[in-house]
Structure 1
Amino acid sequence: MGKALMVLGTSSGAGKSLLVTALCRILSKRGYDVVPFKSQNMSLNSAPSIEGGEISRAQYLQAIACGKRPSVRFNPILLKPEGGMRSQVVFMGKPMGSVSARDYMLSRKEELFRKAMKVLDGLKEEHDLVVIEGAGSPVEINLKDYDIANTRVMLHAKARGLLVTDIDRGGSFASIVGTMELLRPEEREAIMGFVFNRFRGDASLLKPGLDYLEERYGKPTLGVIPYTEHRLPEEDSLAEFPKAKGELHIQIIKLPHISNFTDFEPLHWANGVDYVTRPEELKGDVIIVPGSKNTVEDLLWMRENGFDDALREAHREGSFVVGVCGGFQMLGKVIIDEVESRRGAVKGIGLLPARTVFERTKRTNHLRAEILWKPALGMGVEGYEIRFGRSFSRRPFSVIREVNGARTFEPEGAVGERAFGTYIHGIFHNFAFTGRFLNLIRKERGLEPVSVERWSIEEEIDRFAEVVERNLDVDRILSELGL
């Protein structure tokens, strides 16, 4: 039977996801058979698994860090918020329906928790180590009795725990003390030590506080991780994107149900990028309509708030418009939806020659495609799709050549006048394509062409993991785990 290590946080955004990612890479490189696990994740950033189901982007990244193919077993329960205190429940990669927060807590949660723990037991039997990520804070008094992602998992797995806090926010010592005081004795006993994340400055200045924690709880601080710039996605946090200024101005409409905004990470590093919340702000060189968890409702929100008229006006004034997944569907002529919103035929924004019909079967696949859009004609790209709809256009953006490794031939997306739309999530992570696209816009603006800096997720994981390993007592963690 393998071991389990759990990473808990004093709050949401403490850095649990990336610490788990780093630990997965560090321990895998040391020769251990490691897999990640999070019993329940609430996220609109998702990705396809090897089984064809849907998992959180965080566990997808952690699987890559372990050298494993992403599996639904690493994130058995995924909640996708829909607004109005409702979420779509995805179990083992497959949608189970939409429920209110109250109904989920009272009727579904315990059954799904038991099933998730069977999955965790199986992972422990098959691997040397399972690195488990918690969710939010483990001691929220109003939620603790319903919490199936934190200490209940830790105790079930007989895991040792790390408690991580974000010192850059301030109040980290108080957060650790408050968390420890609210843990039950058996939960507190399972914690092996503390990790301070995103520290700026001289770590020796923390000594009085670290000594206090060890004296009070008999637990050491096992790491002080310095603040580190990186290109790894911070789960569900638009605020974490760098506020870069560049010669090109790229705007992304911040939809109420925006999803998979990690699609646009490569654009942030050499361009001015901002998320737009008011229609009068639309005037960028490029305007992107992103993916959405509730496409038709977000389209109607755009219409009610004047975004559709403002977008068409910006397009007439010279903005290049791009739609990805739900954003592509919105830019078409019509969406017929009897599945998600059940609103029937809804008029689109009309910048792309496409018609979309929602289907009941959700497509979650890895893709390889060939671009048909003239400025990048013949270029190969890869990414993934997560969608209900099927769209039809006489001017497709690309042709899908492979689905999950199987050869196919399927046109997708659409091309309009100074606009295109695609179902390919991750399209801008294809740096040759991104360079071609951005330099087209730069040329129109009278700017010199530039080379798009190429980087890979693997390289970024390695770089971040090296920082963590230098500043974390990994040997002591392994010793505590009996490895």
Structure 2
Amino acid sequence: MKGIMLQGTSSDVGKSLVATAFCRLLLQDGVKAAPFKSQNMSNNSFVTMDGLEIGRAQGIQAEAAGVKASALMNPILLKPQNDRASEVVLLGKRHVTYDGMAYRKGFYETGRAAVATSLSVLEKEYEAIVIEGAGSPVEMNLQDRELVNMSVARMADVPVILISDIERGGVFASIVGTLSLLPKEDRERVKGIIINKFRGDRSLFDDGVKWIEEHTGVPVLGVLPHLGDHGIEQEDSLGVAAVTRRKGLPEYTQLSIAVIQLPYLSNFTDLEVLLQEPDVSLTWVRSPEEMTVMPDVLIIPGTKSTIQGLRELKRLGWGKKIEQCQQEGVWIIGICGGFQMMGEGLEDPFGTDTGKKGETERGFGLFPSNTVFQTEKEVMIKRGCLLSETGDPLFVIQGYEIHLGQTVMKNNDQFCSFIKMDYGQTGGYWSPDQRIIGTYLHDLFRTPNARRYLLNSMRRSIGLEEVKGNVRRPDVYDELANSIRPHLEWNKIREMMGLKA
């Protein structure tokens, strides 16, 4: 197989971002490439055009590669529901919920077969495969049944580049330690090293590069700069900190948005695009006490365990705080699980949300709605139209829905539809003053004109000036690729992949 595998000395060293850059570099070079990650663990997912669910990172990497995302690019997706159990999504569809030990014992052969099949199909359809590993390849207690690092490199028979993060310190020990723990066969597969997140004058690290190459015998193929706000979505909970900004503006010129950081938070990437607005201040809060001043907007995002998350919010005192926010005119937005919590009640007759059949919980009561969790998950791309306060169509929008719950709004003329989907369905509701909003639609704010319209409504309500001008999303993938190409031995990497330099 023509391709490369990117592994890391630990989590959050930048494997996903470098893989995204490689996908765009290959597209710029005229190579039809596909991303691949055999097994991903994340509650931030991506819906393919055929209604299948994969990890968000592989969806983004497919965009960077200029190809249509496929479930073959991430055959196994693990979505944590609590500290012990995860929902397994196999080839894009909900498969089963396992705890850790049962997963290792009962799923390994099934998972391995799915990985092998996916690689075989992708090899026939693409000129090169950019494979991403997970965590570290030397988690010694998991070596016998791992499905995501060296076992995949062997299966695909591709060379490996090891990535290490210099920002966190210990780069020399992490590289040498990782290589020393690998079996000889796997160590020989590592053909290059990339140092990521370097700050300052690159020449100051020349001696470091020389030391690494002398002590490992593996060439350093790049020292990549720290990119800061690169504009590409983060996938896992380690990236939540990146979706935060306190603008250096006077407080009275900011639109302040607070987001409740739920347990088992899902699809927090819904919110990253808000940082493209020039006057938005966005912060995460776990408890009401952390919200020292009342924000202009409070967002309740999605979670993989809605009832458990709702109970935790009540325990922390969010019930009274949300009521206070409503009384003081704060805009309150619920997305997916957050929308479900804003209703009057939640029911789990089959145990698909809590793991226990028959569980129920009262919601915050902002909407006259009831949610019942089903056995079949709704996963689909949806298109529709954003409506004005008077119900007039404004902008075409596109997003996706992923949910087990079905929410029924009781007859109540006070709450109007603000999104009308293509087939006449209601995509979301808001109150008469538009300040209470609920929707299942992820990526609502990614439609630039819709985001600008909604935020301008919020700005007007608190006396801020509207933001004018055309909204244009920069090509962040080209910017990423162009920013790291000069810092890579790219021709050597292409040769490793079996491509002409």
**What's the TM-score bracket when you normalise by the shorter of the two chains?**
over 0.9
Aligned to 1:266: 273
Aligned to 2:68: 69
The answer on whether the counterparts of 1:328 and 1:413 sit within 8 Å (CA) in structure 2 is no
Q: 1:277 aligns with which of 282, 286, 295?
A: 286
1:30-49 pair list within 5 angstroms: 30-49=29-48
Q: Is 1:298 aligned to residue 309 of structure 2?
A: yes
Aligned to 2:133: 134
Aligned to 2:383: 368
- Code of the residue aligned with 1:41 in structure 2: it is N
The answer on whether the counterparts of 2:81 and 2:87 sit within 8 Å (CA) in structure 1 is yes
1:226-375 pair list within 5 angstroms: 226-228=225-227, 229-236=229-236, 237-245=239-247, 247-269=254-276, 270=278, 271-282=280-291, 283-338=294-349, 339-341=352-354, 342-372=357-387, 374=389
- Residue 241 of structure 1: CA displacement? 2.5
The answer on whether the counterparts of 1:47 and 1:386 sit within 8 Å (CA) in structure 2 is no
Aligned to 1:405: none
Aligned-partner Cα distance in 1 for 2:175–2:471: 39
- Residue 124 of structure 1: CA displacement? 1.5
The answer on whether the counterparts of 1:49 and 1:70 sit within 8 Å (CA) in structure 2 is yes
Gaps in structure 1 of 5+ consecutive residues: 403-407
The Cα offsets for residues 100-123 of structure 1, whole Å up to 9 and x where unpaired, read as 111111221233123212211221
1:190-229 pair list within 5 angstroms: 190-228=189-227, 229=229
The answer on whether the counterparts of 1:333 and 1:347 sit within 8 Å (CA) in structure 2 is yes
Q: Is 1:19 aligned to residue 18 of structure 2?
A: yes
- Code of the residue aligned with 2:452 in structure 1: it is G
Backbone CA RMSD of aligned residues = 1.8
Q: 2:443 aligns with which of 426, 450, 467?
A: 426
Secondary structure, aligned partner of 2:393: coil
- Residue 322 of structure 1: CA displacement? 0.3
- Residue 125 of structure 1: CA displacement? 2.7
Aligned-partner Cα distance in 2 for 1:169–1:185: 28
The answer on whether the counterparts of 1:325 and 1:424 sit within 8 Å (CA) in structure 2 is yes
The Cα offsets for residues 235-268 of structure 1, whole Å up to 9 and x where unpaired, read as 2120222433251210001111210000001223
Aligned-partner Cα distance in 1 for 2:493–2:338: 45
Q: Is 1:390 aligned to residue 397 of structure 2?
A: no
- Code of the residue aligned with 1:92 in structure 2: it is L
Identical-residue share of aligned pairs (%): 38
Between 194-203 and 115-124, the greater mean CA deviation after superposition:
115-124
Aligned-partner Cα distance in 2 for 1:84–1:480: 40
- Residue 11 of structure 1: CA displacement? 0.7
TM-score by length of 1: 0.94
Q: Is 1:478 aligned to residue 457 of structure 2?
A: no
- Code of the residue aligned with 2:289 in structure 1: it is E
The Cα offsets for residues 84-107 of structure 1, whole Å up to 9 and x where unpaired, read as 311111100111121111111122
The answer on whether the counterparts of 2:381 and 2:401 sit within 8 Å (CA) in structure 1 is yes
Distance 1:251 1:452, change over 3 A: farther
Q: Is 1:173 aligned to residue 184 of structure 2?
A: no
Secondary structure, aligned partner of 1:356: strand
Aligned-partner Cα distance in 2 for 1:56–1:103: 22
Aligned-partner Cα distance in 2 for 1:275–1:308: 17
Distance 1:376 1:348, change over 3 A: same
Aligned-partner Cα distance in 2 for 1:11–1:289: 31
Gaps in structure 2 of 5+ consecutive residues: none
- Code of the residue aligned with 1:60 in structure 2: it is G
The answer on whether the counterparts of 2:128 and 2:497 sit within 8 Å (CA) in structure 1 is no
Aligned-partner Cα distance in 2 for 1:97–1:186: 34
Between 158-167 and 355-364, the greater mean CA deviation after superposition:
355-364
The answer on whether the counterparts of 1:6 and 1:160 sit within 8 Å (CA) in structure 2 is yes
Aligned-partner Cα distance in 2 for 1:170–1:455: 37
Aligned-partner Cα distance in 1 for 2:51–2:149: 27
- Code of the residue aligned with 1:10 in structure 2: it is T
- Code of the residue aligned with 2:477 in structure 1: it is I
- Residue 299 of structure 1: CA displacement? 1.3
The Cα offsets for residues 270-292 of structure 1, whole Å up to 9 and x where unpaired, read as 31111111123442110000011
The answer on whether the counterparts of 1:54 and 1:94 sit within 8 Å (CA) in structure 2 is yes
Between 12-21 and 300-309, the greater mean CA deviation after superposition:
300-309
Aligned to 1:57: 56
Aligned to 1:119: 118
The answer on whether the counterparts of 2:383 and 2:397 sit within 8 Å (CA) in structure 1 is yes
| Alignment: residue pair count | 476
The answer on whether the counterparts of 1:371 and 1:399 sit within 8 Å (CA) in structure 2 is yes
The Cα offsets for residues 279-318 of structure 1, whole Å up to 9 and x where unpaired, read as 2344211000001111111112212221122111121112
Distance 1:34 1:357, change over 3 A: same
Distance 1:147 1:349, change over 3 A: same
The answer on whether the counterparts of 2:10 and 2:135 sit within 8 Å (CA) in structure 1 is yes
- Residue 147 of structure 1: CA displacement? 1.9
The Cα offsets for residues 14-55 of structure 1, whole Å up to 9 and x where unpaired, read as 100011111011112212121011000000100112331110
- Code of the residue aligned with 1:467 in structure 2: it is S
Q: Is 1:460 aligned to residue 476 of structure 2?
A: yes
Secondary structure, aligned partner of 2:34: strand
Aligned-partner Cα distance in 1 for 2:343–2:10: 41
Secondary structure, aligned partner of 2:191: strand
- Residue 345 of structure 1: CA displacement? 4.2
The answer on whether the counterparts of 1:365 and 1:386 sit within 8 Å (CA) in structure 2 is yes
The answer on whether the counterparts of 1:5 and 1:161 sit within 8 Å (CA) in structure 2 is yes
Secondary structure, aligned partner of 1:433: helix
